[in-house]
Amino acid sequence: MENIIDWLKENLSEERFVHSISTAKTAKKLAKEFGEDENKAELAGLLHDCAKEIPYEEMKKIIKEEHLDIDEDEIKAKKVLHAPLSAHLAKKIFDVTDDEILSAIRFHTIGKIGMTTLEKIIYLADKIEPETRVEPYFEELRKELKKTNSLDKTLLLSSQMTIKSLVDRNLPINYKTIEVYNYLLNQ
Ligand SMILES: [Fe+2]
Ligand SMILES: [Fe+2]
């Protein structure tokens, strides 16, 4: 894990580095609370944004050259494309072979139907880590988790707030975001 931390320090901005370390810590803590593997959670948290600072054009080039299985809609979604790319780098640079870890990294931005506990933990740790997530939206999520002690309920609130905010700002909503919202609603 030491070499990963060194790599992140070298390749990410100061703020993203702090965010990554804090996400790992938060994920580890949540894993302990919710009976997940703490080491897996910590590693997935550390690496979840490792590709985030690769320029968009470069990301598209990697996807093409390495024949990554990412559909067109996802490739168009600039803001979330770093998730599958980070999973790819985790495998390629850091030899992470555990599919649960790779999947938690892969789906940390929009989630998916039928999320595992580890996937839920990374999704939420990314949003509630206390070092860089200071806006009211994140505070709401921390409060919800504390109040309900439920990953599912907190994920649902996150999904609801995201969709409301997209509507308020006249922004398009990816159909996957709606799918995940419907899934969470039925949990
Ligand atoms: Fe991310
Ligand atoms: Fe993140």
Q: Quote the percentage of the chain above a pLDDT of 90.
A: 88
Q: How far, in Å, is the centroid of ligand 1 from the Cα of 45?
A: 10
pLDDT in tens, 117-130: 999 999 999 999 99
Overall average pLDDT of the 72-80 stretch: 86
pLDDT at 119: 98
Q: How far, in Å, is the centroid of ligand 1 from the Cα of 52?
A: 7
Q: Which ligand is nearest to the CA of 133?
A: 2
Q: Which long-range contacts (CB under 8 A, 24 or more apart) does 25-33 make?
A: 25/129, 26/125, 26/128, 26/129, 26/130, 27/121, 27/122, 27/125, 30/121, 30/124, 30/125, 30/151, 31/118, 31/121
Q: How far, in Å, is the centroid of ligand 2 from the Cα of 77?
A: 16
Q: Domains of the chain: which residue ranges? A: 2-185
Q: How far, in Å, is the centroid of ligand 1 from the Cα of 11?
A: 15
pLDDT in tens, 36-52: 999 999 999 999 999 99
Instruction: Decide if domain 2-185 falls under CATH 1.10.3210.10.
Output: yes
Q: Quote the percentage of the chain above a pLDDT of 70.
A: 100
Alpha carbons 26 and 21: distance in angstroms, whole number = 9
pLDDT at 79: 86
111: left (phi over 0), alpha (psi -120 to 50) or beta: left
Q: Which ligand is nearest to the CA of 84?
A: 1
